[in-house]
Amino acid sequence: MRDLAVLFKGNNLQRLLGGLGVTLELSLVSVALSVALGLLAGVLMTLKNPVIRAAMRLWLETVRIVPQLVLLFLVYFGMAKAFNLQLSGEAAAVIVFTFWGAGEMGDLVRGAITSIPVHQRESSAALGLTRGQTWRYVLLPQAARRLIPQAINLATRMIKTTSLVMLIGVVEVLKVGSQIIDAARYDAPQGAVWVYGAVFFLYFFACWPISLAAGWLEKRWA
């Protein structure tokens, strides 16, 4: 119980919040970019062109199968060794996460679009809407609604996976926690419980509003 004090020693609390800031900054930028690129990718994935389809498929399977850590190492260290291109840890992280996020998002968009019954398209054509108008007023809004739960899943997953970036030198919230615990190892051996507890709640209060916002959006578009 007395080890709880470790959270309030010095600047520890601010450092944890700072770490959370790093986590959120990286993930939210990546999520935003992923959504934008993902929408595009999703539409591309529904096209009938076999070459495009194969390329999209390859991209998706690559981001799903190759562990994010390998991608991070490839971009952060590999680029430096291959092309003497020194990227910061943050830059490498955003690149990798966007690459991953856009691919997964694209697949979700594809799934949402193809789940809309054919008659929606036929009715729109019958009503005289152009292809563009059909996409804009009929298909995309419905796809968006179906998309929301899984898109939120993806966003929160991305936020949680950012802890990997500690291995490319970016000090995010879990690493700060680890530093605090170890620095207090001799004085507060059970400090880990409190620090990890704090980290648990920090993640929760970062991700939960996104869930709530999604729920609200879903109801609004019912």
Partner 1 sequence: MKKIVALFVALILTLSLITAAFADAQARTLDEIKESGKLVIGVFSDKKPFGYVDEFGEYQGYDVYFARRLAEDLGVALELVSVDAPNRVEYLTSAKVDIILANFTVTPERAEVVDFALPYMKVALGVVSPDAALITSVEDLRGKTLIVSKGTTAETWFTANEPEVNLLKFDTYTETFNALLDGRGDALSTDNTEVLAWAIENPGFTVGVETLGSLDTIAPAVQKGNDTVLAYIDDEIVKLAEEQFFHADYDATLKDVYGDAVDPDNLVVEGGVIE
Partner 2 sequence: MDTEFLRRFLPMYVRAAGLTLRLGAAGIVFSLAVGALCCLARQFRIPVLRRVAGVYIELARNTPLLVQLFFLYFGLPKIGVKLSAETCAIVGLTFLGGAYMAESLRSGLEAVDTAQHESGLCLGLTPMQNMRYVILPQALATAIPSIGANAVFLIKETSVFSAVALADLMYVAKDLIGMYYRTDEALLMLTLAYLALLLPLSVAFSLLERRLRHAGFGGAV
Residue numbers of the site for partner 1 (CB under 8 A)? 9-12, 15, 54, 57-58, 61-62, 65-66, 73-74, 76-78, 80-82, 84, 86, 166-169, 171, 175, 178-186, 189, 192
Rounded distance, CA 89 to CA 91, Å? 6
Taking CB under 8 A as the criterion, which residues in 124-163 touch partner 2?
A: 139, 146, 149-150, 153, 156-157, 160, 163
Rounded distance, CA 51 to CA 111, Å? 19
Q: Of 7-15, 27-35, 68-76, 91-99, which part binds partner 2 (CB under 8 A)? A: 68-76
Residue 130's binding partner out of partner 2, partner 1, none, with CB under 5 to 8 Å set by partner kind: none
Q: What is the identity of the amino acid at 18?
A: G
Q: How far is the CB of 79 from partner 2 (least distance, A)?
A: 14
Q: What is the identity of the amino acid at 25?
A: E
Contact between 53 and partner 2 per CB under 8 A = no
In contact, 170 and 89? CB cutoff 8 Å: yes
Closest CA to 104 of 174, 37, 46, 7: 37
Residue 72's binding partner out of partner 2, partner 1, none, with CB under 5 to 8 Å set by partner kind: none
Q: How far is the CB of 10 from partner 2 (least distance, A)?
A: 23
In contact, 90 and 166? CB cutoff 8 Å: no
Rounded distance, CA 186 to CA 197, Å? 19
Work out the number of other CB atoms within 10 angstroms of the CB of residue 5. Answer: 14
Rounded distance, CA 166 to CA 35, Å? 24
Residue 175's binding partner out of partner 1, partner 2, none, with CB under 5 to 8 Å set by partner kind: partner 1
Name the residues that contact partner 2, by CB under 8 A.
Answer: 46, 61, 64-70, 73, 77, 104, 107-108, 111, 113-121, 139, 146, 149-150, 153, 156-157, 160, 163, 174, 192-193, 196, 199-200, 203-204, 206-208, 211
